Structure 1
Amino acid sequence: MHQTGPGASADVSAGGVGRRAVGAAESVRAGRSWWDANADDYQAEHGDFLGDTRFVWGPEGLDEQDARLLGEVAGKRVLEVGAGAAQSSRSLLERGAFPVALDLSFRQLQHSRRIDGAHGTAVPTVQADAAALPFRDGSFDLAFSAYGALPFSPDGAGIMREVHRVLKPGGRWVFSLTHPIRWAFPDDPGENGLTATHSYFDTTPYVEEDAAGDVTYVEHHRTLGMRVREVAGAGFRLVDLVEPEWPEHLVQVWGGWSPTRGRRIPGTAIFVCDRD
């Protein structure tokens, strides 16, 4: 996740960061340009943790190889929404799945091609907005998103509907994102990050602007209840909500993620949803 979003409370001013309303087109445009510009740094900073063929659901390091939230994947067509460099899809490829990795950022998908070249793999990639999936109805058996697309989209409900549309009946949709409660706390890895300073119920987007006042980054907050209603409204059945605990062996700190916070307040929420 981006390091400075949740917990920001000040109104944004030109060249600054804070909370304000932002249009849908502006939000999508900022998301594409930010990830294109920062993909290299992101992969360099997080590449060791993510691995090239590893599937983790969040900063706590919960591995799909152990959690099996998607169920059996061998022989299944699987869509990864907000794939980045498609590390998770590559992991599923090793388990006999047929993944397709989708991302809004062309530069992130170029990193997927780079990793494929190093490993002799070939994960199909598609550049598209997750709220307008370019696939036929019932194209996939499974779909997932690990910290991808949803926090950066103004249309979470639209993403849910699109995923429901492209899944076959009986398909599963699993997605992880920053636990909504984190938005009430400063994005600080120390003790200061354990005191709520902002209303959990305020869903005004977090925005970063350049000196000219143009939006360069946007992140969207929804409460747990709002996410559940998005899931149900799209026709899914929520079968589990996983809140991974911070493991004792993990001492890594980046941005607002740390053992200090992770062992006391949840950092990740994973929604496991079935399409009837």
Structure 2
Amino acid sequence: MEQQIDEEEDDELRVYAEAKKKIARLRREKELQAHQEKQEVRDHMIGYLGSLQKRAEADNDTQIFRARAQKEAKDLRDEQEKLEKQQKMRESITKHRFETMKRHEAEREMEEREDAEMRRKKAESDRLFLLYQQEKEKQRIQDAQVTAEFHLKQAQERKDRQRDLKASEMDEIQMDRHMNEVEKQQYQDYTGRVISYMEENGRNTYPMKRVVTDEIKRFDQLNHAYKKTDTPINGNGEKKPGSQDKKTLDETKKHLGFQWDIPNK
């Protein structure tokens, strides 16, 4: 009986132990399930919070990205405008340099054309001046030749005139000499008759004889001058000796202070 009781107690203990084990297993399972549920809830909350955080971070990143994109777009536009301005400035500088070079090239070509035209005109002017100088020298030589011929002709004509004048003056000298002798003879005849008439009438003849003596000396001096030279004393057109001193018989009568009609003896 005791064995049966022991067996029954063992069975109860076994059932209790198994029930305890089962309860412990169920408790562990519940705890594990509760822990798992808590973990799932925690994971869900963490996931939800993570998603919220990610969304917040995404929104923040979007704002930052948008702001950054706007800033980058603005910087890009500013850089593009800056590049466009620089490009326009470079193009303007290049255009200005090209136009300046083109203008300088045109000015240089114009200066070269003007220099060439000036050299051509100068060469033409020099050629014309040389021709003018040659013609001038030719004309000068011709004028000098004509002048020399004219002077030679004048000299020859002057020699001819002097020769003719010399011959004419020689003839005139001979004629003057002859006329001087004739006038001297006429003067002597006239004064001789006058002095004889004055002596016959009782007048003083001394002053008249002195005048007659001086006049005879003058006639002799003229004759001596005519004999002394066979050519004119001056060949420059000056008067010959005695041309101013020669007097006719009537002038001699006036020189004596009277003019009488003396009868010829």
TM-score by length of 1: 0.18
Comparing both structures, which one devotes a greater share of its residues to strand?
Answer: 1
TM-score (norm. length: structure 2): 0.18
